[in-house]
């Protein structure tokens, strides 16, 4: 068992794991250990598989973001899950601690975003700009404490750095986001957590949901109450 690997669910077709913060979800140019390779090693060791182990990357989380991820253990499952992802068949919910409190307790944010591949930064832009992609999310403020607010965010699209850019655009950047936070940026571990993932099983079609709370013993998460009904990993 990998030291960094927490398995929430596993069967012959999929494996759902908890991605640690500040660990890449897949191999990148840094060469650092990553979740994708860790899951492959686990499968190889746990089942004594010779040779290369198949694993399908269905979706991604930014390196500083922790939370729930699903990988496919077969090519058929990977193709079906990837298609569901493209069709919007996944429900992805996040918790984010925001600096400040938005003017509205609940709202849908819609922007066009473009990515600068040179500096890996994403910017709000106009629809007509080259590379512009539509981005949409819905947030609800669940609690407020010490000048911070706990937002539950539902993604409607899956753009790079989307939550970070769109919350910064309303002057309430994610806590710890020195890249997009501007003058309101507060130094610390990024307080963004993929806490809920809902999708249909790629083979059985069964509706599945997996949730995991953020590290509530760490600041700023410990400022808020996460003891809500049914809030356990499963």
Q: What is the pLDDT of residue 225?
A: 86
Look at residue 46 and tell me if it is in a domain.
Answer: yes
Q: Is the pLDDT of residue 234 over 50?
A: no
Q: Is the pLDDT of residue 231 over 60?
A: no
Structure tokens at 114: 């473009």
Q: What is the pLDDT of residue 226?
A: 73
Structure tokens at 24: 């890449």
Share of the chain above pLDDT 90, in %: 87
Q: What is the pLDDT of residue 229?
A: 33
CB of 25 closer than 8 Å to CB of 58:
no
Q: Check residue 147 and report its DSSP letter.
A: T
What is the domain range of residue 179?
6-223
- Please count the structural domains in the chain: 1
Q: What is the pLDDT of residue 223?
A: 92
What span, in angstroms and rounded, lies between the C-alpha atoms of 27 and 21? 15
Look at residue 234 and tell me if it is in a domain.
Answer: no
Q: Is the pLDDT of residue 1 over 50?
A: no
62 catalytic? Reply is: yes
Sign of CA dihedral 110, 113, 119, 120: positive
Catalytic entry in 11, 62, 177, 225 = 62
Which helix (H) or strand (E) element contains residue 87? none
The domain spanning residue 136 has which CATH number? 3.30.2350.10
Q: Is the pLDDT of residue 51 over 90?
A: no
What span, in angstroms and rounded, lies between the C-alpha atoms of 142 and 95? 10
Look at residue 173 and tell me if it is in a domain.
Answer: yes
Q: What residues contact 117, with CB distance under 8 A and at least 6 apart?
A: none
Helices (H), the chain: 35-47, 75-86, 162-169
Look at residue 167 and tell me if it is in a domain.
Answer: yes
Q: What is the pLDDT of residue 230?
A: 39
Pick the range with the lowest mean pLDDT from 4-8, 77-81, 215-219: 4-8
Render pLDDT for 135-148 as a digit per residue (tens, 0 to 9).
999 999 999 999 99
- Alpha-carbon dihedral 138, 140, 141, 142, rounded to 10 degrees: -140
Tokens 């598989």 belong to which residue?
Answer: 49
Q: What is the pLDDT of residue 31?
A: 80
Q: What is the pLDDT of residue 104?
A: 97
Average pLDDT, the chain: 92
pTM (2 decimals)? 0.91
Look at residue 229 and tell me if it is in a domain.
Answer: no
């Amino acid at each position: 068992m990998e030291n960094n690997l927490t398995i929430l669910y596993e069967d012959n077709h999929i494996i759902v794991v908890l991605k640690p913060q500040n660990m890449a979800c897949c191999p990148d140019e840094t060469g650092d250990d990553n979740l994708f390779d860790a899951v492959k090693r686990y499968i190889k060791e746990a089942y004594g598989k010779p040779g290369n182990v198949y694993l399908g990357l269905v979706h991604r989380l930014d390196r500083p973001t922790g939370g729930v991820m699903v990988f496919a253990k077969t090519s058929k499952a990977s193709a079906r899950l990837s298609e569901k992802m493209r069709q919007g068949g996944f429900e992805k919910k996040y918790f984010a601690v925001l600096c400040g409190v938005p003017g509205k307790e609940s709202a849908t944010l819609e922007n066009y975003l473009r990515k600068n591949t040179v500096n890996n930064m994403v910017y709000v832009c106009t629809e007509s700009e080259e590379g512009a992609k539509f981005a949409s999310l819905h947030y609800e403020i669940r609690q407020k404490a010490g000048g911070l607010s706990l937002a539950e965010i539902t993604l409607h699209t899956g753009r790079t750095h989307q939550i970070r850019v769109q919350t910064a655009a309303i002057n309430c950047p994610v806590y710890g986001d020195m890249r997009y936070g501007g003058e309101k940026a507060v130094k610390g571990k990024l307080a963004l957590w993929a806490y809920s993932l809902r999708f249909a099983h790629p083979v059985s079609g069964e509706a599945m949901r997996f949730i995991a709370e953020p590290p509530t013993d760490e600041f700023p998460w410990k400022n808020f109450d996460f003891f809500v009904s049914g809030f356990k990993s499963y």
